[in-house]
Structure formats: structure tokens, C-alpha cells
Amino acid sequence: MIRDFALADVITLGNGVAGFGSVLLALAYLVKNQSVFINCAMVLLPIAGVLDFFDGRVARWRQRNSALGAQLDSLADLISFGVAPAVLGFALGLRGGWDALILTYFVSCGLSRLARYNVTSTAMADDAGKVRYFEGTPIPTSVGLVFIWMGLYHAGKTGTAIPFGQVQLGPFLAHPFAAIYAISGSAMISKTLKIPKP
């Protein structure tokens, strides 16, 4: 199977590998509490974003767009821009019960957004086969959350020092800061937001 991969598919695999590498490094940070792990975990996600930017362009340049490549892209994006940012948030302090629910909602929104795009992209394409806009924000926009975490981590505002503190709501703890994940996820599944596709 690997011999059948186009260059764009290899780049897409790089995206997914970077995302999964970020997950492993975030977990290593939880175990060893060494900054090198979390710094590398954060840096890998913008790298995944760069690879995601280029894979489609390489496919069009090489005229090798395929159904396999499209599915591979969605699966890699789910890892790098859905699961990995959520794990990063957990590793850096969003560990309350309500936080976990919000992080799960965020990943579910990313998953739903990718599935919707796969199903509707053909219907939304113009005569040249080009989709002119996204419904809702594309899942790679979650890299913005990673940049926020980078700033907070280097300012010492993670763990027990996360902005806005924590509150006890019923049986579980919540960090109001986790709302950025709820907002990001909700924007992904919005039908009213129309984002021009480059």
C-alpha cells in the first residue's frame, strides 16, 4: 500500500505523525515534568499545520488528488488539530471533570466538522471542482490554541496558575479558561460561518 502513496500522501502522514508525537510528548511531560517534553509537544503542532498547508498544494501540483488522500488528510487532521490540542490542554492543567467534558466536546466538534466536509465538499464544489468556502472554521485553526498555550507556559500561567483560576461546580472542578476550547469547537461546527477557502 505504501508504494502507492503519492508525495502529498507522505506529507499528510507527516502531519499525522507530528500530531501523535505531540500527544506522546505531552504524556511524557505529565510523567516526568520536564519542560523539553511540553515544548516539543507544542512545537510539533504548528509543524503539522505547515504540512497540512502543503499537502493539498502538492497534490494539485502533481495532479494526484485522490479519495484516499482526502480521507488520509481528515484522519491526520483529527489527530493533530483535534486530539493533540485537547491532550495538550489536559497536560497543562485542564484536568477537572468539567474540563474533560469540554475537551471531549472540542474533539467531537472537530470529528463532526471533518465528516461534514467530506460529505458535503462535492456538493459545494464549483464547475472546476474547487470548494470556495468552508462552513465553520477549519480544524487546523486550533493551532491558535497551541500558540496561546505557548505564551501561557512561558509566562508561568499553567497548572495551578491557569488564568481565571478554578471553580467547583457540583461534583467536579472546572477552569473557566477551558471555554476557549468550547468556543473553538462550536466555531468548527457552525453553519453560519462561511470562511473563504484559499
Please write the tens of the pLDDT for every residue from 137-175.
999 999 999 999 999 999 999 999 999 999 999 999 999
Q: Give me the CATH code for the 2-196 domain, please.
A: 1.20.120.1760
According to the model, what pLDDT value does residue 70 have?
Answer: 81
According to the model, what pLDDT value does residue 68 have?
Answer: 77
N-to-C CA span, the chain: 31
Higher pLDDT, 160 or 123: 160
DSSP string for residues in 130-178 = -B-EEES--GGGGHHHHHHHHHHHHTT-SGGG-TT--EEETTEEE-GGG
Residue 113's contacts (CB-CB under 8 Å, 6 or more residues apart) are 136, 138, 139, 188, 189
Burial 131-167 (b: 16+ CB within 10 A, else e): eeebbbbbbbbbbebbeebbebbeeebbeeebeeebe
The ranges assigned to domains in the chain are 2-196
**Do 141 and 198 meet the contact criterion of CB atoms below 8 Å apart?**
no
> What number of other Cβ atoms are within 10 A of residue 125's Cβ?
12
Asked whether the whole model's pTM tops 0.85, one would answer yes
DSSP string for residues in 39-52 = HHHHHHHHHHHHHH
**Residue 37 backbone phi and psi in degrees, to 5:** -70, -45
According to the model, what pLDDT value does residue 8 have?
Answer: 84
According to the model, what pLDDT value does residue 120 have?
Answer: 81
